[in-house]
Amino acid sequence: MTPLGQGILTGMAEVDDPLISDAMTKMLASASARDLNQTVLDLAALSTALCTVVAENSHISRQQVLDCVLAR
């Protein structure tokens, strides 16, 4: 996972905090296109893996898990 991806995942819970939000905005603004592309791929892979694990343990489909998460 890229440092940008790690930062996004770590800071998302506190995104309402202006300092965290500002730091995340600066990270995104200063990231290279390559880092942004890799981060999107990393986060997509992580999301897919998490949906798969939850689905397997809940006996529902990955799509149902994703639909539930996106509905929040």
The percent of residues in the chain predicted with pLDDT above 90, rounded, is 47
pLDDT of residue 60: 95
Per-residue model confidence as pLDDT tens digits over 3-24: 888 777 777 777 677 887 788 8
pLDDT of residue 41: 92
DSSP 14: G
How far is Cα 2 from Cα 10, in angstroms, rounded to an integer? 12
Residue 27: which H helix or E strand, with range?
helix 18-30
pLDDT of residue 57: 96
Contacts of 10 (CB under 8 A, 6+ apart): none
Model confidence at 27: pLDDT above 90: no
* ∠ Cα 50 56 58 (to 5°): 100
pLDDT of residue 49: 94
How far is Cα 55 from Cα 72, in angstroms, rounded to an integer? 17
